[in-house]
């Protein structure tokens, strides 16, 4: 799936260039000159991009990154540097692919597993 509107393309391209997670407010500040006036307008675009699997929400940072790996929607893995804030999407480990087959769900039906790993990037090590 590709971005479907100019606004989706704009925000997707912006996130693709960034090495850190961007909040809706960061994106709003960047694109006020493009007619965005409220965070709700940004969230509307981000929700579409999330639905298409083109971006991920980094829950622990309350920000968004562009997807840069091949994987099923809802199975992303990101490494987050505690020092510089770099967020790097990494190839999905096998245990993420296996989680649906885990036999301990006890009736719960899992829909997505976003793995966020904190540590130090290669530059900050």
**Interaction site with Zn ion (CB under 5 A):** 67, 69, 76, 81, 83-84, 86, 121, 124
Nearer to Zn ion, 5 or 83 (CB): 83
Nearest to 65 by CA among 73, 75, 74, 54: 54
Residue 88 C-beta: closest distance to Zn ion, Å = 9
Residue 107 C-beta: closest distance to Zn ion, Å = 29
Residue 37 C-beta: closest distance to Zn ion, Å = 29
Nearest to 28 by CA among 17, 18, 10, 41: 41
User: Cβ(89)–Cβ(54) under 8 Å?
Assistant: no
């Amino acid at each position: 799936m590709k971005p479907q509107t100019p606004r989706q393309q704009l925000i997707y391209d912006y996130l693709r260039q960034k090495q850190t997670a961007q909040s809706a407010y960061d994106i709003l500040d960047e694109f006020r000159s493009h007619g965005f006036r409220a965070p709700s307008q940004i969230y509307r675009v981000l929700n579409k991009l999330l639905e298409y699997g083109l971006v991920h929400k980094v829950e622990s940072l309350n920000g968004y990154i562009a997807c840069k790996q091949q994987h099923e929607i809802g199975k992303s893995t990101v490494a987050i540097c505690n020092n510089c804030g770099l967020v790097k999407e990494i190839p999905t480990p096998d245990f993420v692919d296996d989680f649906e087959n885990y036999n301990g769900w006890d009736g719960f039906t899992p829909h997505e597993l976003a793995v966020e790993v904190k540590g130090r990037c290669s530059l900050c090590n």
